Amino acid sequence: MAGDATFKKSIDTAIKNPKLSEALHLFGDAYLVARQNAFHGLDFEEMRREMADIKDEVRINRKELLTEFITNAEKAGSTVFVAQDVQEANDYVINIARKNKARLIVKSKSMVSEEAHLNRALEAAGIRTAETDLGEWIVQLAGQRPSHMVMPAIHMFKEDVAKLFSKQTGKELSPEIKTLVNVAREQLRKEYFDADIGLTGANFLVAETGGIGLVTNEGNARLCATLPRVHIVFAGVHKLVRTIEDAIKITRLLPRNATGQLLTSYITWIRGTVPTDGEKKEQHIILIDGGREKLYESKACRDALRCIQCGACANVCPVYQTVGGHVFGSIYISAIGIILTAFYEGLDKAKELTRACIGCRSCSAVCPSGIDLEEIILHLRNEVTGKYGMGVIKNVAFKAIMKNRSLFHSMVRAASKLQKPIISKVSGGDSPPIIRHLPLHFMAKDFTEWRDLPAVAEKSFRDIFDTIEQHVENPQYTVGFFVGCGADFVYPEVGVALIRVLNRLQVKVVFPKGQNCCGIPALYAGDSETGIDLAKQSVRAFSDAEVDYVLSICPTCTMGVKRDFIKRLSDDPDWSEKAQTLSEKTMDASLFIEKILNGSEKISGLENLITGENVTYHDSCHLKRGNNVWQEPRNLLQSAGFMVTEMKNSDRCCGFGGTYSFLSHPQISKQITTDKVIAIAETGVKTVAMDCPGCMMMLKGAMGKANGSIRCVHTIELLAAAIVKTDK
Amino acid sequence: MSNQQQVEKFMEMAGKVGAETVKLVDLQSVAGYIASQVSGQTLVPSTFLAEKHGLARLLSSSGVNVFKGDFRGADHVPAAGVTFSNFALADTGTIVLESTAEDIRLATTLPEKHFILVDPATILKDNLAAAAPMNVFHAGNDPVFVAYITGPSRTADIERVLTIGCHGPRELHILLVDGISDDMMEN
Ligand code: SF4
Ligand code: SF4
């Protein structure tokens, strides 16, 4: 519990200091543009599939490749040591240093050495270290740790750096970046010449040649590997690749995805004991396991070792942008940092981090190695819950209420009548939890200060479905509607609108009443048991209904049904087959209308369309990155006569993230939402369309307080309004 | 892409990352160009091509202060280094230089300015095309050091502002001269 409190406090501190967050936002925006240019004319998806294959092949054959690397490196004169843990690795370095009577080691960037706290170990042994990467040096002088893998000192400003450098040089330095870079150049140049040992990391280890590769911009790694007589390579065992060609493929992805550069200034390939000052260099390669084998063995998490350390998963992460890497990470930061922390430092250390992820999937979308980071984080969150529990409120709610469909639904009905918090009488515990309406809405008190809470609809969709008349002359398809909690209890009008639109396009809609919540909120909170139960209820309901397709207007539910049900039920052959069948039939409503019905062509052909207004479109995280749908709703809106004005970063998270915004981290959520509200307002457009009830709750609520004149609607509602008069 | 187009592409991309690219007719004009750009200590490693073309001599007679003796005895930041290259990559504006000999490494990492000669016939399309010559460099088991150089040294570590000349050369001058050597194994 102490951990929780400290973590919350660090978030508060970060949020109260918006300067860092502003800088990270600017960086994030510029990054996206640079990255897009860098991949111009290349097929990123294809490239990352290939990278994933390369790295997976390494995983499978890692023992053989390691042996091959060692043999080849030794043939070229290198000494290779495989360290089981960081302690062994540090001791080995100290030993080499002692043998060489070394007093100074110059270092270029090695994240593993951060992981090993190597500098600390060396200083304790009386050996001085000088970091030579500018960012690392700044962080070293400040006595801090890097807050970003590629830009270690991204959290600092030039004034901070000037102060540090002034102290270091004993001269009063102005906070001018050029001057500061020059100071580093001068100060460190001497160190390379004085050093007894140069220590570098490695971006790759080529098994076929026994050589290593360094990808850098500043030129410090080349100096570290050249000037001192001894060269130590300090790297993780997972940096192996089979061939030079595979390594080249890393160099094609890494700089482009890290900083939007086509290539870094230097790529340095070194094999063996190259000449130094008239003799042969002494080269030691230390390969560190430090938890990597355990990670390789974890089926659910092992893809994380495909990481090529581009840092992109931080650049695009809304949580990272809001609180920075010192809060959202440990040695390694942001999405990949959560996973590596769990394996290298222990699940306990990663506990709060797993809960701080909002689940927007930006990291998974940007990763050049095709790591589904968000999914792995979700898995770890489940483990955290299994081990540490998930806190009283969620526990009672999910377990006792969610699983019992009629109880849950009748509670919601009751809530709609009272329109105020209701008290659960369901479970034990002295102070019964307050439950507000929905599985997503377990109240946090400070929440209403900055946004309105959505009111529960007077009648839920499931209560009005039977009263909706459907007129379909020649039904082309019959579809089942997976309503999802948001549309069921808060925005039933979206469900009604969907029926209007589908009927107009000759599709009949059925509503299996046995369906329940998709279970994602429970799952995201780490309660997989409830998730399994809920999946079964819905799979049963839809298997019994005879439908061609199953549609949802909530992308989170679509993901749940399409992807997660199969996984949740995979242990049970009967259920898993049914889940598979349901998955194949399920899709997002906009996608169905556009792809299966050819909707934009049909809609634009309708007579008497009401001329649409100007709208802007918000891409929901789970629609774009979970379902790969973003063009379809835009096409449909345009076909119905709406003009779509794009907002800045339309696919950036709105801050919702389910229970996240209510319970886990309302402060972070608020910041992310504020960004979105500004982006929308900047378009000058008065209507923002989206395809997700979660985003609707978030944005309607925030707009209500921030800018009441902007309307937030579901795409389907706009379509229904446009075709209203086209019937006869 | 024809070689001509590849040369154009290479020059465009090298220019974009801050390298100076100049087409020169022969080694004599190379010496003249360098002499007009540097005044201090200049490191000229004695490599196969440097000897073949008498580079150090040409430079000296044009007035360049060619450093004589052990490069480790030169200034910590010499004024310039002059080297040949093995080949180049058009799509990223990169130069590849086999640098196993220590003098080549010192001449390309320490100085303020790096002048590098490229024969346009050795410009390859991209780094995928570099795999073949890279494999040749790594044939056998001898120690090898290969440098890819793309523009001058840079950093963005302070407030993400791109700043040139962190630890490596602040200027990279790429001098394209026909007929130096189209053998990618020579430098
Ligand atoms: S899912 Fe979103 S919030 Fe979570 S780590 Fe990835 S980018 Fe960050
Ligand atoms: S996980 Fe992917 S995006 Fe994140 S640093 Fe590693 S390679 Fe880059």
**Preferred mutation among B157, B160, B161, B164 to probe A, highest tally of A CBs within 10 A:** B157
Look at the block and give the residue holding tokens 């819950």: A385
CA A11, distance to chain mean position in Å, is 18
Q: How high is the pLDDT of residue A449?
A: 46
Taking the CB of residue A361, how many other CB atoms lie within 10 A of it? Answer: 22
Token reading at A414 = 């009751």
Cβ pair A134:B143 closer than 8 A = no
- How far apart (Å, rounded) are the C-alpha atoms in residues A368 and A55? 11
Q: Which residues contact A637 (CB under 8 A, 6 or more apart)?
A: A612, A615, A617, A644, A689, A715, A718, A719
- The secondary element (H helix, E strand) that includes residue A583 is helix A573-585
Cβ pair B150:A193 closer than 8 A = no
Count of helices and strands (H, E) across chain A: 37, 22
How far is residue A532 from each of residues A487, A526, A620, A628, measured CA to CA in Å? Answer: 22, 12, 25, 25
Handedness of CA A110, A114, A116, A121 (dihedral sign): positive
Q: Which residues contact B2 (CB under 8 A, 6 or more apart)?
A: none
Token reading at A305 = 């070792």
Q: At the fourth CATH level, which superfamily is domain A39-288?
A: NagB/RpiA/CoA transferase-like (3.40.50.10420)
Residue of chain B with shortest Cα separation from A147: B157
Residue B147 amino acid letter: A
Q: For the structural domain made of B3-177, what CATH number should be given?
A: 3.40.50.10420
- How far apart (Å, rounded) are the C-alpha atoms in residues A46 and A242? 20
Taking the CB of residue A642, how many other CB atoms lie within 10 A of it? Answer: 23
Cβ pair B168:A268 closer than 8 A = no
Cβ pair A265:B143 closer than 8 A = no
Cβ pair B102:A272 closer than 8 A = no
DSSP state of A526: T
Task: Let me know: does A696 contact A493? Beta carbons within 8 Å.
Answer: no
Q: How high is the pLDDT of residue A413?
A: 57
- How far apart (Å, rounded) are the C-alpha atoms in residues A649 and A626? 17
Q: How high is the pLDDT of residue A391?
A: 55
In 3-state terms, what secondary structure has residue A306?
Answer: helix
- Any chain B CB within 8 A of the CB of A151? yes
DSSP state of B152: S
Token reading at B45 = 């490693």
Task: Let me know: does B145 contact B100? Beta carbons within 8 Å.
Answer: yes
Name residues contacting ligand 1 (CB within 6 A): A 316-319, 335, 357-363, 373-374, 377
What residues of chain A score a pLDDT lower than 70? 1-4, 390-456, 525, 657-664, 704-706, 727-728
Task: Name the closest-CA residue to atom 6, ligand 1.
Answer: A363
- How far apart (Å, rounded) are the C-alpha atoms in residues A621 and A625? 6
C-alpha distance from A418 to closest chain B C-alpha (Å):
53
Domain coordinates in residue numbering, chain B: 3-177
What are φ and ψ of residue A423, in 5° steps?
-100, 130
Token reading at A354 = 């797993």
DSSP state of B62: T
Q: How high is the pLDDT of residue A438?
A: 40
- How far apart (Å, rounded) are the C-alpha atoms in residues A539 and A544? 9
What are φ and ψ of residue A461, in 5° steps?
-60, -40
pTM of the model: 0.79
Task: Let me know: does A564 contact A520? Beta carbons within 8 Å.
Answer: yes
Q: How many CB pairs under 8 A join A and B?
A: 175
- Any chain A CB within 8 A of the CB of B162? no
How much of chain B is helix, strand and coil, in % rounded to 5? Answer: 30, 25, 45
Least CB–CB distance from B166: residue in A27, A157, A218: A218
Q: Could you say which residues from 208 to 247 on chain A have a Cβ atom under 8 Å away from some Cβ of chain B?
A: 208-211, 217-220, 222-223, 225-226, 244-245
Q: Is the minimum distance from the CB of A376 to ligand 2 under 6 angstroms? A: no
Q: Which residues contact A120 (CB under 8 A, 6 or more apart)?
A: none
Q: For the structural domain made of A444-451+598-724, what CATH number should be given?
A: 3.40.50
- Any chain A CB within 8 A of the CB of B167? yes
pLDDT category of residue B94 using cuts at 50, 70 and 90:
very high
CA-based nearest residue to A423, from A415, A433, A413: A433
Task: Let me know: does B131 contact A248? Beta carbons within 8 Å.
Answer: yes
Residues facing A510 on adjacent strands: A480
Question: Is B60 buried (19+), middle (13-18) or exposed (0-12) by CB count in 10 A?
Answer: middle
Closest-approaching ligand to the CA atom of A625: 1
Q: Could you say which residues from 60 to 89 on chain B have a Cβ atom under 8 Å away from some Cβ of chain A?
A: 72, 76-77
The tally of CA atoms less than 13 A away on the side-chain side of residue A671 is 25
Q: At the fourth CATH level, which superfamily is domain A2-11+300-388?
A: Alpha-helical ferredoxin (1.10.1060.10)
Q: Which residues contact A502 (CB under 8 A, 6 or more apart)?
A: A479, A508, A509, A593
What are φ and ψ of residue A205, in 5° steps?
-125, 120
B168 CB neighbours in chain A (<8 A) are: 218-219, 222-223, 265-266
Handedness of CA A334, A339, A343, A347 (dihedral sign): positive
- The secondary element (H helix, E strand) that includes residue A524 is helix A520-524
| ipTM of this complex | 0.97
CA A340, distance to chain mean position in Å, is 14
Task: Let me know: does A338 contact A347? Beta carbons within 8 Å.
Answer: no
Direct distance between the N- and C-terminal alpha carbons of chain B, in angstroms, rounded to an integer: 25
CA-based nearest residue to A496, from A463, A461, A455: A461
Domain coordinates in residue numbering, chain A: 2-11+300-388, 39-288, 444-451+598-724
- How far apart (Å, rounded) are the C-alpha atoms in residues A497 and A312? 39
The tally of CA atoms less than 13 A away on the side-chain side of residue A86 is 19
CA-based nearest residue to A721, from A644, A626, A619, A611: A611
Task: Let me know: does A306 contact A56? Beta carbons within 8 Å.
Answer: yes
Q: Please check whether the two domains, A2-11+300-388 and A444-451+598-724, share a CATH topology.
A: no
